[in-house]
Structure 1
Amino acid sequence: MVGGIAAAACALISTGDGRAEIAAFDLAGPRLTVTVKHGGVTLPITQVPNLSAGDEVLVRADLPVDQGARYLLVVGFLRGATNPPPKNWFFKAETWKPKNRDLRLTVPKGAQQVVAFLAPETGGDFGTLTGAVRGRPGAFVRASQDLNQAALDRARLDTYVAGVNRRDAEGGSRVEVASPLLARSLAIQLKADCLAKPAELQAGCLTAGRDSLVLSDGHSSSLAEALTGTPTDLAFQLAATPQGGLGYYSPYIGVVRDVARLLGAFRTANYQYIPALATHDGDALALLLNAAPSFSKPLSVLVTALPPVGPASLPPLRATEPAARYCLARPGLALPVEGAPLIYATRYARNVALRVAGRDGREIDLPVVADAEKGGFVVKGDLPRASAFEPELTGRLHGEWGFVPFDGPRFALQSPQGPSWHPDDGDGATLVAGRDNALALTGAAPACVANIEIKLPGGNTRAVTWEQRGANGLTAKLPLGDVPPGDVTVRIGQYGVADPIEFKLTAYAEASRIDSFTLHADDRSGVLTGARLDKVAALTIDGSRFVPGALARVEGGDRLTLTAEAAPALAVGDAKTGKVTLIDKRIVNARVTVAPPRPAATLIGRSVTVPATPVAIALPEGVVSQYGRLTFSLRAAGGTRFATDDRVEVATADDATTTVGVSLQDPQVAVVSLTPGAVLGVGAAGPLRFRLVQGGVASDWQPLGTLARVPTLRTAACKDSCTVTGSDLFLLRSVGGAAMPEGFTGDSLSAPKPASGPLPVSLRDAPDVAASIEVTR
């Protein structure tokens, strides 16, 4: 069965390459002048999307004064596919009689569709037409729907083609710029590959195969629907089959094919029915035919449809960019909308205005017109002064759809407020000559900024690009890449404001580069990174002043420690901007990061194991021999918990550093073991310190003890005096209270005998620490 239907459809239209084709509606037919009076208001039919019961309708066929054939104008009302209309719902006008050529009708209650016929006068034509319609009302209901649908689709298509051709005539890149918005506004398929062709070929490519460009549009479909339900489009269903061209047909093609199929079924020996598209031409309907009329049997009867009878289907307009803000003072302000292509292709929407509230509370209606090339409604006419509005306000589109009021979407609007713009930096923006600078600006109504330019030290001006930042900010990119140091003037022009805003700034020679400042919670000192940080005088964060400390040169820049004069009130996660004051009084912003507290640990205990030697030197607590193995334990402090991947750094005063892992007793206690002399170098000596490192973050340095080099002793004996032998005896500073000579190179020395006990000695690496040697007597 499906194959038979497809074959029948393909028999209606075919081409040599197997693609679908229909006879184009390119024959000009007569015109119909139709007016509708509703509620005391009279409108031309081109502004009436639907009729209502009780409407007074005047229909006139505008035929040439030398019209040779006599046409009978017949208008009939329908009331659904299964309910034949009464005979008194049909009216005729003999167009060749001046006094009888107008039809004045009142839409009867219960009517749903209106069909108009222009039939050659034969004497029995009126009865034949009314009998055909009353005998098969469903076919003419469907024909009315489809003709209305096709006419609305054709209006969108014609508007698109006219727009493309108009821009093509203007030359340049206008087609490439205008066609995407035209296609989006009118729900037309855009052939994007056409825009890659040479300019002179783009318009022809974009409009080729024009009937297949029309896309489905729910609003125009709802206007044409019968009240008995949405019509089934046979040809559109066939389009998805291989026999039907696998989607080649557009809805427009499908609708026209269905009309041809329906009206073809009524062909008799006397009459054949030709569909006529009622296209809008000013205030009248211009009929377009897709077949030449016949004035011999079978005579051609032109069939067209007037707008359906029923409730208004209001345009489902929505804002294309709901979150955007628009400047009310901008000349030619376009408010982008979508969802209802017919607002661009017809005159159904009338008296449309943008309603806004003035500063005094009174509502003001600003006229707007639909512009498909701009994708929305464009505000027309003179605007009130900007001072008449608040800086932030809301506008709402409203108008009439035929005779019915409708409300459109709302838009966030802004109105310029005079000299409101200034640098975001309260202390004055600092610019650097020789590179582009980002300048943060704060003010009212950023959507109303029309242009920004900068006047250079030499007097020349340059345009500045910018982008909106939040509700009341802009970021301008000042082109100073080849500009010498000096004063520059920034000018900001606003829509609706005659005089630009001006302020002067100074572009300095590049000095310090400020990257960021990182401070751990609970600390008073943090690290500033950048370049040439020796030029930094101070840093201020929310009133807390930090002064410079140690400066370290590292690969790629500097690291400067800054310490607060008083404990800063900063919490983890705070996003702050600090003010860095340079020694030349310039102020530069610095991004501030408040990191979590650093890890913390305290020393619990320590022990030193020294390899056995012939004679040992007894070292007091806190002194570590370079040959000894130091083991110490730590307790986690604050919120710190030890982990297996933690590390401990051990260093001397001259920054000889080693890093070792930890062994955990539990998450609160860790044990570290190392031989300092082996890992820090044979010459390492002096105070030892340690710090805990977790996840790349280190704790404060804490004292660990004193690393001392000790000699290797072979003998130590005392009789009348004491004699000590061994190597590296120069590491002793004193023996038995007698000072060792500097540069001592011997392997034996004499010292006074102590009255009792061990022989006291001191070490050069720990001169203030008392050590001793056990001696034999």
Structure 2
Amino acid sequence: MRALLPPVLALAAAVSLTLPVAAAAQSTTFDLAGPTLTMRVTRGGVTLPAGQVPGIRAGDRLEVRADLPEDQSARYVLVVAFLRGATNPPPKDWFFKAETWDKNPKKSGLNMTVPEGAGQAIAFMAPDTGGGYNALVKAVRGRPGVFVRAAQDLFQASLDRARLETFVNGVARVEESAPERLVPVSTALAGTLAIKLNADCLSRARSLQASCLTQNRDGMVLQTGGGTTLAEVLGGTTTQFAYSLAATKEGGAGIYSPYISLARDFARLFGVFRSASYQYAPALAVGSGERLRLQLNNPPSFQNPQTVLVAPLPPIGNAAPPPLRAAAKDAVCLAQPGLVLRLDDAPLLFATDYARDLRLKLGLQDGRSVELPLTADAERGGLVVADAQKLGKTGISDAALVGRWGFDTFTGPRFAVQNGAPTAWQPKPDDAVVIGRDAPLTLQGGASSCVEQVALRDRAGATRPVEWKASAPDEITATLPLARTRPGELTLLVAQYGGAQPAQLTLKGQTEASRLEGFTLYTGDREGRLVGARLDQVAKLEVAGVTFVAGALTRDPGGGDRLALTTEANTETLAQGASDAKVTLKDGRTTTVRATITPPRPRLELVGAHVDAPAAAAKVPLVLPTGLLAPDATLTFSVRAVGTRLTNDDAIEVATTDDEATTKLTVASGKLQSLGGDVAVGTFAPRQALGAAAVGALRMRLVQGETLGEWQPLARVVRLPVLTKVTCGDKECAIEGDDLFLISAVAGSAEGVGAVVVPVGFVGTSLTAPRPAGDALYLKLHDAPDDWVKIAVASARKE
């Protein structure tokens, strides 16, 4: 028989072998209930049940016995063996044997001390056949590496099994007590325990969700610790290679799951010990209190070959807690009812009883130290804080998780927590707020995470909720709804968690005084612009004897107001330069502002225009008056710049009067050609350049860098009906075609005498029109209510 390789190499070699039939028959789910062991561990005068012991040390006292039913018929020999490495067989006195059926407690149970130098502990349940114990000792001493690996990997799998059972039991509990909460609770449990959740199950009928969530358990347990197995964290020996190998095609990927990924390998490795009398089978040991429940993946055999169960005991070595990290970076409020301190990647804390006596150790700003009890709650995803109300409103300088992990004390992560009195809040920079618009307000000095809600109460006693957000640990930013509030005293109510009464902050609601920064007018324009703040209070402005009245008010994105002021007077005679203007507010007050009269803004004069309309086959042509063009026509126009000279960097902007559609004609785009000096020619098609919104009057202006010229009329785009036939009789004519709803009236002369009005929304395909006096009919379109469009009639003869 060849020498045994080290555990990792042995696994690699085993995977390269052909899978035996017995191994292939092994089940990969440990769902059969096996015998139960009870175990207690004593260290330094302290005794803990097995469920609270993540690891043991040399010198620890172990009490192990089998908890079998009174009517147990098959006799089991309980054996605990201590191992010291894959290549170093343990001495015979490291094996301890108990006859579980013996009535003498000293013989039916084991009481032993972990020997110095031991590396692993493992338990066996072997049928009593007379020579079974000696055969077992010989097998373990002959190939210790197999059992070293079994001790490590079965313990890891047992921990993963504990996570799975915590999830399944939690789902079952919620399904029975509150099925309407199954979706949020199962999602929370999956996140806490690192369980792969089948999201499709949550979309099914409520009665089917629980069973769906707990199916296919082989693939539900995920690896934790950022690539480090729990066994490595607890025992210091990695099984990462084994788990990675088991995921390969050669290792049987898809046949068994991560948390029991070595079931097939156990069958293969234990197969070398198979004889006519014995076969070895793995068992998981899930701890709860003193009990270690053994879970089997196949039923044991009591006929030859009889089954020897192999179960893990806690690893030997330092049992430090897994690395715990606080999930939240922002502060949380201790006074919040049911506060949960969330942890990242800590499934073992929730799936086992290793963590105990958990407390939140607080350093208070008054120098005291206080500890609050914590309870691990997998459904809520963290540690639930108790007794926080006893702190009062004392400030907190430090908060850390402390407790015990098995026998040892530990200090976990620090949490950002707050606790403070609502009276600490103060408005910054002062208590004055501006009414007439929603106003921001900053409060500083308190604990932002402890604010539950904010409200505003006016002089009449009406209370409105206030939107707010935490902007710093000691600061919140609120938006006060003051658009319809009158000047006077206001009360801001700040309610905090745990506070009996909200804090009341008195604010002064004031009308913001207008801040006038300057008035600008281009010579010749009839509209100037006043900039500043609260310009809604401005009624009019007078400069050099010309009165301007308030118009449209807009607010700049960067802050401040812009107020348009218009006049009917001629402004071409105003002297250019800076002077003072008189501003009258709506309440009668007057003030002055600096007014700047600038040279006239550049403007364009239309020199000429030509419309190139596409030919319409088999259609009655329409003759459009000057200034009208169809959307699919091309307009070529020439302009002269007044007050400036044109360059190749200039542009002509064309837009609808409502600015819904706009385009720029430039030399670079080929849509504008400069003829030198002050004349240019532009070309564009309305539909192509402006889209479907290009209907109605168009205007143009010159754009020279940041300088915008004065808007000037350019043309009017009109939608045209499609006329297919026009026939006239003795008294009337018939017009046939499509889109006749675009026509508002039909007349027999250009003066519109006796016009026939077309109903709005007309959807017919023919119209009756009066017989023309000459050789043409005239249409008036909805898009051009002041113009008549001519239709040439071939003859006025009687049809």
Interval containing the TM-score (normalised by the shorter chain): 0.5 to 0.7
> Helix, strand or coil: the match of 2:112?
strand
Which of 379, 382, 392 aligns to 2:385? It is 379
Aligned residue for 1:26? 31
Map of 1:55-454 to 2, 5 A cutoff? 55-97=60-102, 98-99=104-105, 100-171=107-178, 173-217=180-224, 218-223=228-233, 227=237, 230=239, 232-233=241-242, 236-241=244-249, 244-245=252-253, 249-321=256-328, 323-387=329-393, 389-390=394-395, 392-424=396-428, 426-432=430-436, 440-453=442-455
Aligned residue for 2:604? none
Aligned residue for 1:8? 19
Q: Is the 8 A contact 2:41 2:48 kept in 1?
A: yes
Provide closer, same or farther for how the CA distance between residues 313 and 427 of structure 1 changes in structure 2, counting only shifts above 3 A: closer
Provide closer, same or farther for how the CA distance between residues 248 and 305 of structure 1 changes in structure 2, counting only shifts above 3 A: closer
Distance 1:455 1:35 in 2: 64
Displacement after TM superposition at 1:156 (Å)? 0.8
> Helix, strand or coil: the match of 1:190?
coil
Aligned residue for 1:679? none
Displacement after TM superposition at 1:150 (Å)? 0.8
Displacement after TM superposition at 1:204 (Å)? 2.7
Larger CA deviation: 275-284 vs 147-156: 275-284
Aligned residue for 2:41? 36
Which of 546, 558, 562 aligns to 1:559? It is 562
Provide closer, same or farther for how the CA distance between residues 518 and 248 of structure 1 changes in structure 2, counting only shifts above 3 A: farther
Distance 1:535 1:282 in 2: 83
Distance 1:151 1:243 in 2: 21
Provide closer, same or farther for how the CA distance between residues 249 and 299 of structure 1 changes in structure 2, counting only shifts above 3 A: closer
Distance 2:134 2:468 in 1: 73
Distance 2:281 2:418 in 1: 54
Provide closer, same or farther for how the CA distance between residues 482 and 88 of structure 1 changes in structure 2, counting only shifts above 3 A: farther
Aligned residue for 2:55? 50
String of CA shifts for 1:699-744, please: whole Å, max 9, x gaps.
Answer: xxxxxxxxxxxxxxxxxxxxxxxxxxxxxxxxxxxxxxxxxxxxxx
String of CA shifts for 1:225-248, please: whole Å, max 9, x gaps.
Answer: 575x546427x5253328945x57
Q: Is the 8 A contact 1:353 1:368 kept in 2?
A: yes
> Helix, strand or coil: the match of 1:46?
helix
Displacement after TM superposition at 1:105 (Å)? 0.8
Aligned residue for 1:701? none
Provide closer, same or farther for how the CA distance between residues 137 and 104 of structure 1 changes in structure 2, counting only shifts above 3 A: same
Question: TM-score normalized by structure 2?
Answer: 0.61
Distance 2:517 2:278 in 1: 91
Provide closer, same or farther for how the CA distance between residues 42 and 536 of structure 1 changes in structure 2, counting only shifts above 3 A: farther
Displacement after TM superposition at 1:306 (Å)? 0.4
> Helix, strand or coil: the match of 2:379?
helix
Provide closer, same or farther for how the CA distance between residues 90 and 7 of structure 1 changes in structure 2, counting only shifts above 3 A: closer
Q: Is the 8 A contact 1:146 1:256 kept in 2?
A: no
Displacement after TM superposition at 1:75 (Å)? 0.6
Displacement after TM superposition at 1:280 (Å)? 1.8
> Helix, strand or coil: the match of 1:222?
helix
Q: Is the 8 A contact 1:344 1:371 kept in 2?
A: yes
Q: Structure 1 counterpart of 2:245, which letter?
A: Q
Indicate the RMSD between aligned Cα atoms, in angstroms.
5.0
Q: Is the 8 A contact 2:443 2:475 kept in 1?
A: yes
Provide closer, same or farther for how the CA distance between residues 645 and 310 of structure 1 changes in structure 2, counting only shifts above 3 A: same
Map of 1:396-545 to 2, 5 A cutoff? 396-424=400-428, 426-432=430-436, 440-453=442-455, 465-476=467-478, 490-503=492-505, 527-528=531-532, 532-534=536-538
Larger CA deviation: 342-351 vs 174-183: 174-183
Q: Structure 2 counterpart of 1:498, which letter?
A: A
Displacement after TM superposition at 1:535 (Å)? 7.6
Displacement after TM superposition at 1:443 (Å)? 4.0
Q: Structure 1 counterpart of 2:97, which letter?
A: K
String of CA shifts for 1:558-616, please: whole Å, max 9, x gaps.
Answer: 6269xxxxxxxxxxxxxxxxxxxx9889xxxxxxxxxxxxxxx9xxxxxxxxxxxxxxx
Larger CA deviation: 473-482 vs 184-193: 473-482
Distance 2:586 2:267 in 1: 88
Displacement after TM superposition at 1:398 (Å)? 1.7
String of CA shifts for 1:114-152, please: whole Å, max 9, x gaps.
Answer: 111112222222211111111110111111111101100
String of CA shifts for 1:356-392, please: whole Å, max 9, x gaps.
Answer: 11233122121212222222222123542323x32x5
Aligned residue for 2:723? none
Q: Is the 8 A contact 1:512 1:536 kept in 2?
A: no
Provide closer, same or farther for how the CA distance between residues 205 and 123 of structure 1 changes in structure 2, counting only shifts above 3 A: same
Distance 1:309 1:517 in 2: 80
Q: Is the 8 A contact 2:55 2:235 kept in 1?
A: no
Displacement after TM superposition at 1:108 (Å)? 0.7
> Helix, strand or coil: the match of 1:419?
helix
Q: Is the 8 A contact 2:435 2:486 kept in 1?
A: no
> Helix, strand or coil: the match of 2:353?
coil
Q: Structure 2 counterpart of 1:42, which letter?
A: T
Provide closer, same or farther for how the CA distance between residues 646 and 148 of structure 1 changes in structure 2, counting only shifts above 3 A: same
Provide closer, same or farther for how the CA distance between residues 515 and 122 of structure 1 changes in structure 2, counting only shifts above 3 A: farther
Displacement after TM superposition at 1:422 (Å)? 4.7
Q: Is the 8 A contact 2:279 2:305 kept in 1?
A: yes
Q: Which has more radius of gyration?
A: 1
Provide closer, same or farther for how the CA distance between residues 482 and 142 of structure 1 changes in structure 2, counting only shifts above 3 A: farther
String of CA shifts for 1:201-238, please: whole Å, max 9, x gaps.
Answer: 333332221221111122513146575x546427x525
Displacement after TM superposition at 1:70 (Å)? 2.0
Q: Which runs of 5+ in 2 are unaligned?
A: 1-11, 520-528, 542-546, 556-560, 565-584, 589-597, 599-641, 652-675, 679-702, 709-799
Q: Structure 2 counterpart of 1:325, which letter?
A: A
Aligned residue for 2:568? none
> Helix, strand or coil: the match of 2:202?
helix
> Helix, strand or coil: the match of 2:453?
strand
Q: Structure 2 counterpart of 1:402, which letter?
A: G
Displacement after TM superposition at 1:403 (Å)? 1.7
Q: Is the 8 A contact 1:396 1:410 kept in 2?
A: yes
Displacement after TM superposition at 1:5 (Å)? 4.2
Distance 2:203 2:60 in 1: 51
Distance 2:336 2:48 in 1: 33
Displacement after TM superposition at 1:470 (Å)? 1.9
Distance 2:489 2:207 in 1: 49
Q: How many residues align?
A: 571
> Helix, strand or coil: the match of 2:262?
helix
Q: Which runs of 5+ in 1 are unaligned?
A: 15-20, 520-524, 538-548, 562-581, 586-600, 602-628, 633-642, 648-672, 676-692, 699-777
Displacement after TM superposition at 1:482 (Å)? 10
Displacement after TM superposition at 1:429 (Å)? 3.1
Q: Is the 8 A contact 1:6 1:244 kept in 2?
A: no
Distance 2:267 2:192 in 1: 29
Q: Structure 2 counterpart of 1:334, which letter?
A: V
Question: TM-score normalized by structure 1?
Answer: 0.63
Distance 1:9 1:186 in 2: 35
